[in-house]
């Protein structure tokens, strides 16, 4: 049994969902999403028992390309994030009616398939193929099932598609160059290539363009807020909860180990870019009137801090970044689902048009408040573990990085609590606000349970990812 089984389940699930028709599409998609999650947990157990669950097979002879999937602690952590959030996202959508539902849910599973492939691939060309494949389903999900003015939506989605595709082409050029040096696309062979400092700089920058757009980091973020706003909430969840983690994960897996000299030489610059994103995202979030746009800029601030942690090149920085990736995935999916629940009742995302929800829906209010506090890293929540570790790693590099990076907590607390105040308190909206349904309640409770469990007991994830991160740091610190 190996990790290729996850890809098979998700791919078969996508085709089956499309074939069963609109009536049963959502339930079939949920079944395959849960099957992938169950298989991931079983594979994790095999991995913990010391079994080899990686997969490698010769795919193309000339050029030398292998269908190689690497299952270590880091990739398994991202696999579990993807397969855990996919059924949650599918289940959260049960309160909506979608035209051509079979295509909608099939695209969700296909996107999950591509993202899982990206996290597992250990052959450069295979990794690039999965990376690009993930772009196709989210393009159609946002374009066809998005909201707002059609022309504005098309412009936003096309801009996103062109940006990410253009950035990825630089990464492809870097892989082709590395192949000329190594004669192989396999990650372990690419790690062995000895590059000059100048070569490493160009490789580093080529990867950076692809990852900075996907994450996104400023000034490559201009597509983000509009796409998050215009995409259906399911699409926004997929983008913010999982897809942007592809870029952060890839910084650790590919960029830093392949160009360690450049990473060390320009460390301060790239940490500064991440920290600048924290400040910029937080300040812009303060001025937002649309709930989804506020959450989009809040996400920009949080991922800026995560990126800064990865570029510290320390075990604490990498570990904290991975923990925060996972925590952010659950929190941001929960918050965007909150926005969707409010939209289902009030048909608005404008914060000023909300209000008085607390008196009508105490259960919803309580769960919303927990997610708000988790997003600002309240101790005992998962986000606190990741952010504290990242800030600690930044303080080891330069205390000012930690101070400036810490503004995400201060400013985040201000704009998130201010938003909560306007949306949930104050004068009651003229429309009634029904309390959460069973479907909505289960979705939110599952997310909150994860945030509290790993906030109080992060050891299983730390133990899982630490050996892989130590190996990557050994590669980064090798003598060139």
Digit-coded pLDDT (tens) for 367-388: 999 999 999 888 999 999 999 9
Q: Please report whether residue 398 resides in a domain.
A: yes
Q: Please report whether residue 284 resides in a domain.
A: yes
Tokens of 231: 């995409």
Query: Is 480's pLDDT higher than 60?
Result: no
pLDDT band of 479, cuts 50, 70, 90:
low
pLDDT band of 218, cuts 50, 70, 90:
confident
Tokens of 2: 């190996």
Please classify residue 251 by burial: count the beta carbons closer than 10 Å to its beta carbon, then call 0-12 exposed, 13-18 middle and 19+ buried: buried
* The pLDDT value given to residue 275: 92
Digit-coded pLDDT (tens) for 248-261: 999 999 999 999 99
* The pLDDT value given to residue 287: 87
* The pLDDT value given to residue 446: 96
Which of these, 294, 300, 295, 282, lies nearest to 404 by C-alpha position? 282
Tokens of 136: 């196709």
Q: Please report whether residue 200 resides in a domain.
A: no
Tracing tokens 């959030």 back to the chain, one arrives at 85
Tokens of 138: 């989210």
Query: How many structural domains are present in the chain?
Result: 1
How open is the CA angle 217-213-287, to the nearest 5 degrees?
50
Say if CB 6 and CB 39 are below 8 A apart.
Answer: yes
pTM score, whole prediction: 0.93
Digit-coded pLDDT (tens) for 126-142: 999 999 999 999 999 99
The CA distance from 416 to 338, in Å, is 13
The per-residue pLDDT of the chain, averaged, comes to: 91
- Range name among 12-26, 329-343, 406-420 with the lowest pLDDT average: 406-420
* The pLDDT value given to residue 90: 95
Say if CB 82 and CB 242 are below 8 A apart.
Answer: yes
The CA distance from 57 to 445, in Å, is 41
Q: Please report whether residue 47 resides in a domain.
A: no
Query: Is 150's pLDDT higher than 80?
Result: no
* The pLDDT value given to residue 167: 87
Q: Please report whether residue 290 resides in a domain.
A: yes
pLDDT band of 110, cuts 50, 70, 90:
very high
pLDDT band of 36, cuts 50, 70, 90:
very high
Helices within 121-214 (DSSP H only): 124-133, 135-145, 150-182, 187-191, 197-214
The CA distance from 4 to 8, in Å, is 6
Digit-coded pLDDT (tens) for 327-364: 999 999 999 999 999 998 888 888 888 877 888 888 89
Q: Please report whether residue 431 resides in a domain.
A: yes
Tokens of 104: 């909608």
Residues of the chain with pLDDT > 70, as a percent, come to 99
* The pLDDT value given to residue 429: 65
Give residue 430's Cα distance to chain centre. Answer: 37
* The pLDDT value given to residue 430: 66
Q: Please report whether residue 32 resides in a domain.
A: no
Section 279-299 average pLDDT: 89
Section 39-48 average pLDDT: 94
- Range name among 173-187, 283-297, 420-434 with the lowest pLDDT average: 420-434
The domain of 327 spans 267-480
State whether residue 60 is helix, strand or coil.
strand
Which of these, 441, 146, 117, 405, lies nearest to 280 by C-alpha position? 405
Section 390-412 average pLDDT: 88
Which of these, 187, 170, 154, 78, lies nearest to 471 by C-alpha position? 187
Query: Is 297's pLDDT higher than 80?
Result: yes
DSSP output for 226-271: HHHHHS-HHHHHHIIIIIHHHHHHHIIIIIHHHSHHHHHHTHHHHH
Dihedral, CA of residue 214, residue 311, residue 455 and residue 471, to nearest 10: 100
Tokens of 232: 């259906």
């Amino acid at each position: 049994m190996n990790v290729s089984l996850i890809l098979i389940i998700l791919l078969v699930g996508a085709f089956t969902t499309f074939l069963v028709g609109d009536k049963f599409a959502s339930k079939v998609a949920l079944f395959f999403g849960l099957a992938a999650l169950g298989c991931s947990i079983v594979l994790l157990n095999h991995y913990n028992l010391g079994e080899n669950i990686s997969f490698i097979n010769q795919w193309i002879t000339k050029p030398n390309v292998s269908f190689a999937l690497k299952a270590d602690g880091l990739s398994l952590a991202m696999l579990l994030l993807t397969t855990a959030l996919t059924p949650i996202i599918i289940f959260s959508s049960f309160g909506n009616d979608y035209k051509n539902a079979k295509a909608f849910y099939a695209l969700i599973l296909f996107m999950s398939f591509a993202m899982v492939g990206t996290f597992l691939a250990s052959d450069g060309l295979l990794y690039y193929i999965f990376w690009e494949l993930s772009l196709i389903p989210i393009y159609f999900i946002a374009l066809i099932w998005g909201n707002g003015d059609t022309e504005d939506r098309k412009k936003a989605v096309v801009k996103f598609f062109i940006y990410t595709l253009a950035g990825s082409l630089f990464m492809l050029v870097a892989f082709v160059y590395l192949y000329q040096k190594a004669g192989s696309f396999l990650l372990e062979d690419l790690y062995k290539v000895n590059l000059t400092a100048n070569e490493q700089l160009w490789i580093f920058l080529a990867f950076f363009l692809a990852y900075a757009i996907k994450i996104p980091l400023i000034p490559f973020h201009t597509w983000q807020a509009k796409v998050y706003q215009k995409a259906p909430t399911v699409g926004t969840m997929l983008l913010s909860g999982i897809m942007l983690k592809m870029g952060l994960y890839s910084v650790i897996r590919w960029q830093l180990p392949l160009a360690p000299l450049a990473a060390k030489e320009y460390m301060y610059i790239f940490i500064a870019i991440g920290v600048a994103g924290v400040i910029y995202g937080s300040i812009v979030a303060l001025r937002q009137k649309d709930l989804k746009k506020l959450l989009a800029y809040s996400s920009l601030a949080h991922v800026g801090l995560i990126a800064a942690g990865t570029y510290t090149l320390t075990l604490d920085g990498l570990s904290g970044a991975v923990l925060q990736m996972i925590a952010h995935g659950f929190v941001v999916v929960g918050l965007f689902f909150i926005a969707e629940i409010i939209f289902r009742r009030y048909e608005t995302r404008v914060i000023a048009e909300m209000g008085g929800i607390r008196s009508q829906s105490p259960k919803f209010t309580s769960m919303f408040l927990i997610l708000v506090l988790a997003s600002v890293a309240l101790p005992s929540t998962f986000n606190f573990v990741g952010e504290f570790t990242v800030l600690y790693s930044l303080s080891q590099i330069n205390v000012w990085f930690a101070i400036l990076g810490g503004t995400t907590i201060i400013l985040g607390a201000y704009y998130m609590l201010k938003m909560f105040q306007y949306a949930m308190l104050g004068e009651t909206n003229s429309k009634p606000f029904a309390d959460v349904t069973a479907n909505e309640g289960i979705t939110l409770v599952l997310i909150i349970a994860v945030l509290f469990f790993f906030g109080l007991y992060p050891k299983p994830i730390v133990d899982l990812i630490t050996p892989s991160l130590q190996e990557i740091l050994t590669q980064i610190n090798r003598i060139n």
